[in-house]
Amino acid sequence: MKTVLLENNEKDITIAAELIRNGEVVGVPTETVYGLCADARNESAVKAVFEAKGRPADNPLIVHLAEFSQAELYTSYIPELAYRLAEKFCPGALTMVLPKNNRIPMITSGGLDTVGIRVPSHPVMHRVIELSGCPVAAPSANISGLPSPTCAEHVMQDMNGRISAVINGGNSKYGVESTVISFDNENTVRILRPGAVTKEMLAQICGNVIIDPAILSELAENAVASSPGMKYKHYSPKADVIMIESSLQDFIEYVDQNNSDNTYSLIFDGDEDNFPCRYLTYGADSSQQAHMIFRRLRELDDMGAEKVYVRAPSKTGVGLAVYNRLIRAAGFEVIKL
């Protein structure tokens, strides 16, 4: 299959929407990361998404809609709190897990009786959904297990020859995937995956916001995951990633002592002065770090890095999302100095 690179204009967006309506798979930019889009109701199109990614069949796809009110078409119950969250965060980087109805096939929901609903704000993705007239299933457009793509070149690296087309919409605004939440009760939400809609932002609307324990620590062997994605190794580059929680001085001493061939450090902007070993920087604050983290993990692979020491980011605000992606890339290997 030849993968066509489409441009960000109405003519090409119309082509992409038509491909999706005809059961094909297209890479589309969103404000979080690029998505692999297919008609969520079309079982063979959704199957093609799982195949293109090499994704386990029990890991559900998020369904993207043009307006939150359309969630009523695909779910059996929407709590009042979900409407209040939608007023504030739809369109945006929030995915709400709700009980699905039978308009969403089991293959799309990975066999679950729930469906994640998101209303993306990116104008290209929004227009693709509108023109296709479909509820659009879209996981991140990477090969399963690799860092999510934040530009069209990353999608091409992973998906060239596997899907019909990719729309080039430049760099993703946030750079980490959406915040996924479920509802524990009428005023409590549970964060299953942290993202750009932060705990602090959710707490302004919800009485209670729980951070699922699997976000910061490894699931016990027999534990049931609240979200199937928690079970799988994610975001992992080929290199062995090790996260270090320490002061800059202790970090420098540690990597200086443990440096070897093809070892790199991933440090903050501002840490560079007299840094003793090879490094890349990934931003000065949480929002820059979110923007750059997946790109840097891909670059480290391209450079042939075998070991990467990462300065642990802050766990507040969108930093929690960066921390979560990195601790998973590190296979939960953290050194505290």
Q: How far apart are CA 291 and CA 289, in angstroms?
A: 5
Closest CA to 230 of 97, 144, 328, 321: 328
Q: Which does 3 bind (CB under 5 to 8 A by kind): Mg ion, ligand TXA, none?
A: none
Which residues form the interface with ligand TXA (CB under 6 A)?
Answer: 30, 32-33, 35, 59-62, 95, 97, 109, 112, 114-116, 118, 138-140, 177-178, 180, 192-193, 227-229
Residue 32 binds Mg ion (CB under 5 A): no
Cβ-Cβ contacts under 8 Å for 81 (sequence gap 6 or more) = 183, 186, 187, 189, 205, 206
Residue 236 binds Mg ion (CB under 5 A): no
Q: Which does 154 bind (CB under 5 to 8 A by kind): ligand TXA, Mg ion, none?
A: none
CB 272 within 8 A of CB 279: yes
Q: How far is the CB of 321 from ligand TXA (least distance, A)?
A: 10
Q: Which does 132 bind (CB under 5 to 8 A by kind): ligand TXA, Mg ion, none?
A: none
Q: How far is the CB of 95 from ligand TXA (least distance, A)?
A: 5
Cα angle 199-268-249, degrees, rounded to a multiple of 5 = 110
Residue number of the CB atom closest to ligand TXA? 229
Nearer of residues 140 and 168 to Mg ion, judged by Cβ: 140
Q: Which does 116 bind (CB under 5 to 8 A by kind): Mg ion, ligand TXA, none?
A: ligand TXA
Read off the tokens for 78: 């929407």
Q: How far apart are CA 38 and CA 48, in angstroms?
A: 9
Contact letters for Mg ion, residues 293-332 (x by CB under 5 A): ----------------------------------------
Q: How far is the CB of 243 from Mg ion (least distance, A)?
A: 20
Q: How far apart are CA 23 and CA 18, in angstroms?
A: 9
Among 140, 226, 265, 286, binds Mg ion (CB under 5 A): 140
Q: How far is the CB of 148 from Mg ion (least distance, A)?
A: 5
Cis peptide, bond prior to residue 91, ω within 30 of zero? yes
Q: How far is the CB of 234 from ligand TXA (least distance, A)?
A: 8
Backbone angles phi, psi at 275, to 5 degrees: -65, 130
Q: How far apart are CA 254 and CA 276, in angstroms?
A: 11
**302 membership: H or E segment, kind and range:** helix 286-302
- Per CB under 5 A, which region of 47-55, 132-140, 278-286, 310-318 contacts Mg ion? 132-140
Closest CA to 267 of 252, 280, 254, 251: 280
Bridging pattern class, strands 188-193 and 208-211: parallel
- Per CB under 5 A, which region of 2-10, 18-26, 139-147, 248-256 contacts Mg ion? 139-147
Nearer of residues 50 and 309 to ligand TXA, judged by Cβ: 50
Nearer of residues 132 and 178 to ligand TXA, judged by Cβ: 178
Nearer of residues 24 and 177 to Mg ion, judged by Cβ: 177
Residue 164 binds Mg ion (CB under 5 A): no
What is the chain's alpha carbon radius of gyration, rounded to the nearest angstrom? Answer: 20
Q: How far apart are CA 12 and CA 6, in angstroms?
A: 6
Number of H helices, E strands in the chain: 9, 16
Nearer of residues 140 and 324 to Mg ion, judged by Cβ: 140
Nearer of residues 139 and 194 to ligand TXA, judged by Cβ: 139
Read off the tokens for 261: 């061939």
Nearer of residues 183 and 264 to ligand TXA, judged by Cβ: 183
Read off the tokens for 53: 């990614």
Give the interface with Mg ion as residue ranges (CB under 5 A).
140
